[in-house]
Structure 1
């Protein structure tokens, strides 16, 4: 009888301990975890399901224009950044979060690098000119150098958030500067004709298709 009593007490303590683990991160050494995306909040924030628990996730080291900020409202290209993130994740086979040193911000959101079928969401947003490098705080700086390189490449091409001078500033985005495009692109900004053609068609850029056959920068591979 005493043995049964101690077994029962031990089981209760175990169950209580499991239920008290309000966070799924019961493994302090966990660096990456698979998740299911349940909502796209905006370009740099998503909601996911981890072990049947809903979590808000803020993408580390990047910032996209707002879509419905209580103070800032909707900013130019915020919807485009959100649509880009949505398109990347909606048909993905696997979404993973990679953590740095600090897992949560002051709003209790998870801080993570997000991978969509092993492709970095942060890198794709930066590469397409839909995000800036921002909120760089130690010790969560693992990929900051790589991200800044991609940011500079997008700046050089003057695509999306970089198309307007002074729209992107150190403290965020300034809608008052979003106006007429100042894109000045050259074939040397691209590595392939296909890349240049896609860019030309997306932004309706003139002067990149000399013989008007629908293919830009035909001197490129």
Structure 2
């Protein structure tokens, strides 16, 4: 399946023109068109999926953090202006993006704030080491540092020993047909 990708410029979404889907995805209204934003270099816990199957307690614990991450991001963005820098689209048509509160200072980067508060894991997709500008590398290093600080302080997801990652939950649900 080939995805048609247009180059998208940085854009601003004002309060009321975006909503949080989960801890790492935001839908924005841009000139009447819905744009799905997937925050770059992080992975938040999954939000609960509708199912009638019996669910493992580890998955339930993960889903609680999915809800907490979504709530945290919703509260963080309340009455704020969102600045989005899209880079490319993923398989699902979401724009892989950096997002900021009110201005593009690194300290206002949403991914680093989520990591700092233990609401997600940081990751760098396999084989992706192209940092076209020094700012991109600085941002990624900041995300890693904030995630490490949260881990050390046992904040958020790091307060739960052996919490399943989003990938582990997806794999477990797929192999046990609990989706």
TM-score (norm 2): 0.70
Is residue 92 of structure 2 the alignment partner of residue 107 of structure 1? yes
The structural deviation recorded for 1:70 is: 6.0
Contact 1:136 1:144 in 2 (8 A): no
Q: What do the CA deviations read for 1:14-57 (whole angstroms, capped 9, x no partner)?
A: xxxxxxxx98x5xx473x21124432111111100112211111
Dislocated runs of 4+, deviation >4 Å: 70-74
Offset from partner CA, 1:39-80 (integer Å, 9 cap, x none): 211111110011221111111111111113468776131111
Equivalent residue runs for 1:1-221 within 5 Å: 28=7, 30=9, 32-36=10-14, 37-69=17-49, 75-92=63-80, 94-99=81-86, 102-118=87-103, 119-134=108-123, 136-137=125-126, 138=128, 142=136, 143-169=139-165, 171-172=167-168
- Larger CA deviation: 57-66 vs 37-46: 37-46
Greater C-alpha radius of gyration: 1
Distance (whole Å) between structure 2 residues aligned to residue 129 and residue 79 of structure 1: 13
- Structure 2's unaligned 5+ residue stretches are 52-58, 171-179
CA distance in 1, matches of 2:130, 2:93: 16
Q: TM-score, normalised by structure 1?
A: 0.57
Task: Give the whole-Å Cα distance in 2 for the aligned partners of 1:111 and 1:140.
Answer: 15
SS of 2:64's partner is coil
Give secondary structure in 2 for the equivalent of 1:114. strand
Name the CA shift for 1:169/1:89 in 2 (closer, same or farther; >3 Å). closer
Tell me the alpha carbon deviations over residues 119-175 of structure 1, each in whole angstroms, 9 at most, x when there is no partner. Answer: 21111110011111135252576332221111111000011100122215594469x
Q: Is the 8 A contact 2:118 2:147 kept in 1?
A: yes
CA distance in 2, matches of 1:58, 1:116: 16
Relative contact order (alpha carbons < 8 A, sep ≥ 6): 1 or 2 greater?
2
Provide the secondary structure at the position in 2 that maps to 1:103: strand
Structure 1 spans left out of the alignment, 5+ residues: 1-21, 175-221
